[in-house]
Amino acid sequence: MIGVLLSVLLLCAMLISATMGFMKIPAVDVVAVIVHKITGFGAVPDPVVAGIVLDVRLPRIIGAALVGGALAVCGAVFQAILRNPLADPYTLGISSGAAFGASLLIVLQVFVLILPTSLSIPVFAFAGSIATLFVVLALAGGDRRLSSTSLILSGVIVAAILSAAIGFLKFLADEQVGIIIFWLMGSLSGISWTNIALLLPVSCLGLVICLLFSRELNIMATGERTAATLGIHTARLRWMLLLVCSLMTAISVAVSGIIGFVGLIVPHLLRHLFGPDNRRLILFSFLGGAVLLVVADTLTRAVLPSEVPIGVLTALIGGPVFCVIFKKRQRDGR
Amino acid sequence: MAGRQARVSGSLWRLDEVDFCYGRQPVLGDFSYQFERGCCYGVLGPNGSGKTTLLDLLCGLLVPESGAILFNGRPLADWRPRALARQVALVPQEFAVDFDFSVRMVVEMGRYPHLGRFEDLDDHDHVLVRKVMTELAIDGLADRPVNRLSGGEKQRVAVARALAQEPAVLLLDEATSNLDIFHTLSIIGAVRSRVREKGLTVIAALHDLNQAAFFCDRLLFLKQGQLICHGLIDEVLLPDVIDDVYGVQAQVVYNDFSGCRQVSFRASDYGR
């Protein structure tokens, strides 16, 4: 029921977003353009309007929804496996790792390497995110129980080192520095249908895998030892989901740069509203994250006087929320 | 010979010369024992004597360095975790849940090993969950978040979760160590009635000698990873054994009121 509501909300947000921008397009025309494109029925729309809707706005809106959904699902899953409500792709340093991988590739391309960018950036981003994940987990105490504090601390430390490393890459990149700055701030303005072709299967497949193991995720929250005696391969499940989520994060970063805190706020808020059951929470997070990012991106694109990078916007809103959650947990003595 | 064979395969667990180390530190050495069905075992010994390691080995969370563990006549390594989970349940000492799951949801998790991937709880499962919660007197807490419960209530939820697994064996790892006497006795009562009525086997790692005498049928004494002695309470709960295992002078007498052996210590030995 809540899922249906959130889906309707998402569709409305996407439709309204498509009407907004430099040129106002009535919702009826947007629908007409899409219907004509898919089915061939209806009147042939104005080519300018069709171009704006299909080539400029839709990829960006769909991209925003998929990136937001993927990041929120990753946040929900990281929080469940690591038993830590503060975990998300950004606070764990995984987004920074992916950005480092992407930046590294850009610098390499300046000097020696000639690779097709659209394919190799996701690969480098994934490698960077996985490497970061391993380093953060190792730093936080290997395979033993990962405590909240040491994990977040490791994530922050590794992210700090990575940001210094990215700074060095920016220095090396010289004239290409603008492209790297794009990764750091996060923006959905460059999304094309090619990106969607990569983003859609990865985020949907990731969502399905996370949903399939949502019951196990619930049980993992009662402790690794208990989960193992209930017949769950805890280590295998944990690594598999960490890898799946790192891939989802990496592809999101490859497409849109670092967009922080979506994975933190969305699951946290939804858990507060609808309870911690991951069988519902993961799907709700996908829809909720999609709504949030579509709305936020529409704000930066069409409402604010000049375009603020969306990563900056989410960090400005998300950072303080993170602080509030952190303080509240301290008070609860957890 | 045939009869002996049948009896051997009839024992629940059979451990043959099991060794286990953490790194270079030997934790359990040359451990051989057979656990029988329908009996309540107490595993006793000082801190670090290998009690928890033994339980982890029994439920397959740890794998021995050498030696063999047979469960129901089959090597433990051959058991799929889910199949084993339908037979063996564990109640740990601390039961912490990081999110606000309700009591009912946590108890329902005990049904997990019995469900297929796309199967949901059916009427039978719901009846069973309700029955177990009534047994542990937590039915009134069903919709409360586990995190908001007291230690005693939480631990009853953990026992209920384990019983909802419908196991043949219940492993208790100091499950009542942090509880007051009321909650301790109510958990012991619930578990013992399962032993009596359904032939449940219990293996409990314990610290309190009197609680062991009150709760268990047979005792195993561990010291530095070695099985020092084992047997019925009357055979092994003796001052000599307690001195040997813990290095403590004790008196053991049959207590008419409790109806079992009780251990006491001399206060003047400890500065009173």
CB neighbourhood size of A66 (10 A)? 29
Chain B residues within an 8 Å CB radius of A334: 98
Tell me if chain B has a CB within 8 Å of the CB of A269: no
Looking at the domain assignment, is residue B257 inside a domain?
yes
CATH of the domain at B41: 3.40.50.300
Residue B150 maps to a domain: no
Quote the tokens at residue B40: 């309540």
- Dist CA A123 CA A105 (whole Å): 10
Per the CB < 8 A criterion, the answer to whether A237 and A213 are in contact is yes
Q: Is residue B186 part of a domain?
A: no
pLDDT of residue B140: 93
Give the number of other CB atoms < 10 A from CB of residue B269. 10
ipTM of the assembly? 0.86
Q: Domain total for chain B?
A: 1
What pLDDT shows up at residue A118? 66
Which of B109, B147, B169 is best to mutate for the A interface (most A CBs within 10 A)? B109
Residue A254's pLDDT is 86
Instruction: Indicate whether B177 belongs to any domain.
Output: no
Residue among B11, B43, B72, B93 at smallest CA distance from B202: B43
Does residue B241 lie in a domain region?
yes
Chain A contact present for B81, CB below 8 A: yes
The candidate with the shortest Cα–Cα distance to A247, out of A102, A95, A107, is: A95
Q: B259: domain range?
A: 1-80+208-272
Under 8 Å CB pairs connecting chains A and B tally to 74
Q: Residue A106 class from Cβ within 10 Å (0-12 exposed, 13-18 middle, 19+ buried)? A: buried
Angle between helices A177-185 and A310-332 (to 10 degrees): 40
d(CA A21, CA A192): 17
Q: What is the pLDDT of residues A11-53, one digit of tens each?
A: 999 999 999 988 888 888 888 888 888 888 777 778 888 888 8
Residue A200: the pLDDT is 96
Three-state secondary structure call for residue A262: helix
Which domains, and CATH codes, for chain A?
Answer: 2-332 (1.10.3470.10)
Q: Measured between alpha carbons, how far is A110 from B127 in angstroms, rounded to an integer? A: 67
Residues of A in contact with B101 (CB under 8 A): 218, 221-222, 276-277
**Rounded to an integer, what distance in angstroms lies between the CA atom of residue B82 and that of residue A215?**
14
According to DSSP, residue A45 is labeled P
Altogether, the residues listed in chain B come to a count of: 272
Please name every residue paired with A292 in a beta bridge, in sequence order, or none if there are none.
none
What pLDDT band is residue B7 in, cutting at 50, 70 and 90? very low
Per-residue pLDDT for B130 more than 70? Answer: yes
**pLDDT bracket for residue B5 (50, 70, 90):** very low
pLDDT, tens digit (0-9, with 9 covering 90-100), for B139-171: 999 999 998 898 889 999 999 999 999 999 999
The average pLDDT across A107-129 equals 79
